[in-house]
Amino acid sequence: MRIIEAKDYADMSRKAANVISAQVILEPRSVLGLATGSTPIGAYKQLIDWYNKGDIDFSQTKSVNLDEYIGLDGSNDQSYRYFMNTNFFDGINIKKENTFVPNGKAPDMEAECKRYDELIKSLGGIDLQLLGIGHDGHIGFNEPGAAFEKTTHIVELEEATIKANARFFGSEEKVPKKAITMGIKSIMQAKKLLLIANGPDKKDIVEKALHGPVTPMVPASILQFHPNLTVVYCFN
Ligand code: F6R
């Protein structure tokens, strides 16, 4: 495990973007595993900036995202597909058809989980998976108690998550109650992992995840067992 302490959010974002850009420069055909949330936005902005300066080329790169709400399609501004398009893909030269996010509107969600696992396999697996971490230690939508051996699956959102997300949707009723997420097993199968965390409120959970006992009650604690984990954090 490599742990890099950043000075502030901008520094964390630049360092994370450096790791991602090194991956793409060294292996232009890389498959990047990507995350949504507030933490990676700065890294995505930095990569867009380097792309505009001519430093990185994403034309051969592919991406797979961790998760999506069930019931939202990509045109919904709360969907993770929309987030990825607006915060990253629209700013770089990755081919849209090479960017994959689970389909939250698939008619058969169980079949969609299988399709997503097959898709990742057919791409040759994930070269570098970017991860944020929730206050309860969740990664993707794998909440405490999630089985370590799961691949892509459907989850019921925790009451607390629905409440926390109500601000984005206008009311609790409008928040999707389910999501589709890569499982812990899918995440652990990535060749390299890059975990990023920002803010004083993430300090306790990151310490628990990296140095505490490995337990499904702290899903991110399993990352201690990954042979190629880089962590970049800033707790200021
Ligand atoms: C989103 C995801 C989530 C977030 C986590 C942290 O694709 O996988 O696990 O990484 O909820 O979110 P932020 O970055 O908003 O603190």
- pLDDT for the residue numbered 143: 93
Which of 209, 179, 41 minimizes the C-alpha distance to 109? 179
Rounded distance between C-alpha atoms, residue 232 and residue 10, angstroms? 12
Helix, strand or coil, per DSSP, at residue 212: coil
Under a CB-based contact definition with an 8 Å cutoff, are residues 92 and 51 in contact? yes
Report the number of secondary-structure helices (H) and strands (E) in the chain.
7, 10
- pLDDT for the residue numbered 155: 96
138 labelled catalytic: yes
Rounded distance between C-alpha atoms, residue 148 and residue 102, angstroms? 20
What are the tokens at 201? 């409120």
Class of domain 27-128+135-191+202-234: alpha beta
Rounded distance between C-alpha atoms, residue 33 and residue 41, angstroms? 15
As a dihedral over the C-alpha atoms of residue 122, residue 98, residue 104, residue 168, rounded to 10 degrees, the angle is 140
| 71 pLDDT more than 80 | yes
| 70 pLDDT more than 90 | yes
Residue with the two structure tokens 């389910």: 178
Q: Mean of the pLDDT values across residues 136-149?
A: 94
> If you ran DSSP here, which 8-state letter would residue 139 be given?
B
What are the tokens at 171? 């009311």
Residues with CB under 6 A from ligand 1: 35-39, 66-67, 132-134, 138-140
- pLDDT for the residue numbered 168: 87
- pLDDT for the residue numbered 146: 87
For atom 4 of ligand 1, the residue with the nearest CA is 132
| 199 pLDDT more than 80 | yes
Mutate to test the pocket of ligand 1, among 32, 38, 39 (most ligand atoms within 8 A of CB): 39
| 164 pLDDT more than 90 | no
Rounded distance between C-alpha atoms, residue 87 and residue 43, angstroms? 10
For atom 2 of ligand 1, the residue with the nearest CA is 140
Nearest ligand 1 atom to alpha carbon 199: 16
- pLDDT for the residue numbered 52: 98
Pairing of the two strands 128-131 and 192-198: parallel
- pLDDT for the residue numbered 129: 99
- pLDDT for the residue numbered 14: 98
Under a CB-based contact definition with an 8 Å cutoff, are residues 4 and 15 in contact? yes
Query: pTM higher than 0.85 for the full model?
Result: yes
Under a CB-based contact definition with an 8 Å cutoff, are residues 64 and 33 in contact? yes
Which of 193, 179, 147, 167 minimizes the C-alpha distance to 33? 193
Grade residue 69 by pLDDT with cuts at 50, 70 and 90: very high
- pLDDT for the residue numbered 163: 87
Query: What is the CA 87 to chain-centroid distance, rounded?
Result: 13
- What residue segments make up the domains of the chain, in order of their start? 27-128+135-191+202-234
Q: How do residues 215-224 score in pLDDT, each as one tens digit?
A: 999 999 999 9
